[in-house]
Amino acid sequence: MKRDWAAIIAIASIAAAGCGKGTAELSIATVGDTMAYDVSSLTVKSGQSVHLVLTNRGTSQVMKHNWVLVQPGHEADIATAAISAGEAANYVPRGDANVLASTSLASAGATSEVTFTAPATGSYPYICTFPGHSATMKGTLVVTP
Ligand SMILES: [Cu+2]
């Protein structure tokens, strides 16, 4: 019986670890009420499951933030498309292939989160697509092999 439990635990451990990469738990926050993230670079492994939590540390009730991972070179066009998408869509152009992952909008003092699979090895920009924020509210997700 003891041996059976050991086998079950071993199998469960392997399942939890997936292909040995596990889930990357990432946290990012706003710098108070400024249009900036507190982290300008995040690193994960390609194919890894990523769980990112965005915390809005601001107090302004009119300024919300999100976290949008985009294909390199598409920061500007996604930011423009986001305005057309509007607040009801969390300022995320749904169905746009250049959006790789996105959280919903986080109001002051709140969090929003997303779980996604890390893309191929490379460097991917992340931006806040709340109107006017993407020029300064940005960073890079580095995906390693
Ligand atoms: Cu923002």
Q: State the pLDDT confidence band at 21, using cuts at 50, 70 and 90.
A: confident
Single-letter code of the amino acid located at 65? H
Ligand 1 mean position, distance from CA 45 (Å): 26
Examine the pLDDT at 17 and tell me if it is beyond 50: no
Neighbouring CB atoms inside 10 A of 21's CB total: 14
Helix (H) or strand (E) holding 26: strand 23-29
Q: Please give the distance, rounded to the nearest whole angstrom, from the Cα atom of residue 118 to the centre of ligand 1.
A: 22
35 CA to centre of ligand 1 in angstroms: 5
Q: Which CATH class is domain 21-144?
A: mainly beta
Task: Give the global pTM.
Answer: 0.86
Phi, psi of 141 (to 5 degrees): -95, 115
Please state the domain extents for the chain.
21-144
Q: How far does the centroid of ligand 1 lie from the alpha carbon of residue 63, in Å? A: 7
Collect all residues with Cβ–Cβ distance below 8 Å to 48 and sequence separation of at least 6: 21, 22, 23, 24, 117, 118
Q: Grade residue 4 by pLDDT with cuts at 50, 70 and 90.
A: low
